[in-house]
Structure 1
């Protein structure tokens, strides 16, 4: 039984709304990541700095992408409402400059996310290059297919859609390459700890799920793929931002432990939250009664305990 197509005019509205919601989530994650970076400046290392720079680039790309979607939505439903095909005729025309620019932002964000995953894999594998050969090849394939897709957009007739036969091969290759690179990042890693693989994999599961679902919907020419397509750009940023925050917090914790005196570690200093508890001197008075040996006399001992 064939899927009933979701109306394109509603599809573009829902897609823009979902991207705006996810972008708001990304904004919160990015802001918290900046705060963590500022407050943990003494615990920074080269790996943390690279991850933070990539996070900034992703935020800028996501901001430009949501702004372009807003621009296109206003033009489509306000300026082109009475034009040929109405809003759908404008928003669905993939050869327009604003669509090509928006798609380029999406492809760049996805490739940057996959490149960051390969870099993260290389770090976790103690900089052993043999573990990133396959992910790197998939990354190169994604870059080539993205460039070919954007180049073909210019030559597509205005009446054709994203499901044009000349495009499907390159778009499918791009989506498959992105999903495979993300998968191999987690499971080709044989040197990193199980905790690192599990935590990174859990944070990336949402992004991987959206990519697989997007590929499935595009393969059956279903219009709802537009909704997931617009959700990818902020989702990549959210995923990477959460991983960056986790890495920074762990580095900060390790730095704190390195600054602790060995004697204090052995003594087991207790804390309330992050505030260490101070020793308080306590005066103890003991009163001992020995009727048999002292004839009923009382003796007292004073001491200081801490």
Structure 2
């Protein structure tokens, strides 16, 4: 998990760095040297910076989808469950490679990114990664819900609903972003460039939020704080240690004036402790 978190952080940072470099190139360096100005320069997706940014996004997407598949395997503990998701992940990798290659070969004469082979490869890539993420999220949610139902019937006092909500939050966040990118691209809207720049950090956020929220919940539950939402079996206080009436015998010794032996006077008192 540490290695994957580091990779996602590196990919996100590189993606943002390339975006900043593209902005400087398009709006400052090549502002007056390209016929048509910045709009024409940004429309050319065969630029190395755009191709490199697309490659970074592809690697990050494959990494994020692979993590979701791995979580499915951990929860289900069966290799058969993840066979089809792995096949879909291979489809994501193929369409990602095709998209990057198509962008590198695209020209303004063919209509830019929304036409020709580029349009088909990118649409397939968005659809493949969206389907993979939604399928794996549904598998995770169903399995956790199934386990939680069994645990609830056992009256153990343990609930997995917080974990279920965490997985659903991460899956919905990523799926909605991918769906927005797919709709914007199919509609041939330049808004897809904005969504594309948002998807890269959201992939990392969706991965981090599961680790952080589960970690926080585990720590707070160990400290006895139930604000995390996790419930644990509570051991009732034993009644064997309840205070009971105690009968005490006290012997009082007194000495007579004649120096005789002390007289033992027995008294009995009942004390409630």
Name the TM-score, length of structure 1 as normaliser: 0.64
Whole-angstrom CA distance in 2 between matches of 1:211 and 1:251: 30
Q: Give the counterpart of 1:191 among 143, 148, 163.
A: 143
Q: How does 1:115-194 map to 2 (within 5 A)?
A: 115-125=66-76, 127-159=77-109, 160-189=111-140, 190-193=142-145
- 2:206 pairs, out of 239, 245, 262, with 239
1:186·1:197 contact (CA, 8 Å) conserved in 2?
no
Q: Aligned residue pairs: how many?
A: 215
Q: Distance in 2 between matches of 1:256 and 1:124?
A: 26
Instruction: State whether residues 137 and 171 of structure 2, in contact with CA within 8 Å, keep that contact through their aligned partners in structure 1.
Output: no
Structure index of larger Rg: 2
Given that 1:207 and 1:236 are in contact with CA atoms closer than 8 Å, whether structure 2 keeps it comes out as yes
- Where relative contact order (Cα < 8 A, 6+ residues apart) is larger, the structure is 1
Instruction: Give the 3-state SS of the residue equivalent to 1:154 in structure 2.
Output: helix
What TM-score do the two structures reach when normalised by structure 2? 0.71
RMSD, aligned CA: 2.5
Query: 2:218 and 2:11 mapped to 1: Cα distance?
Result: 27
Unmatched runs of 5 consecutive residues or more in structure 1: 1-49, 258-264, 269-298
SS class of match (1:167): helix
CA displacement, residues 121-142 of structure 1 (integer Å, 9 cap, x when unaligned): 11111x2112212222211101
Give the alignment of 1:51-62 within 5 angstroms.
Answer: 52-62=2-12
C-alpha spacing 1:207/1:98, structure 2 compared with 1 (3 Å): same
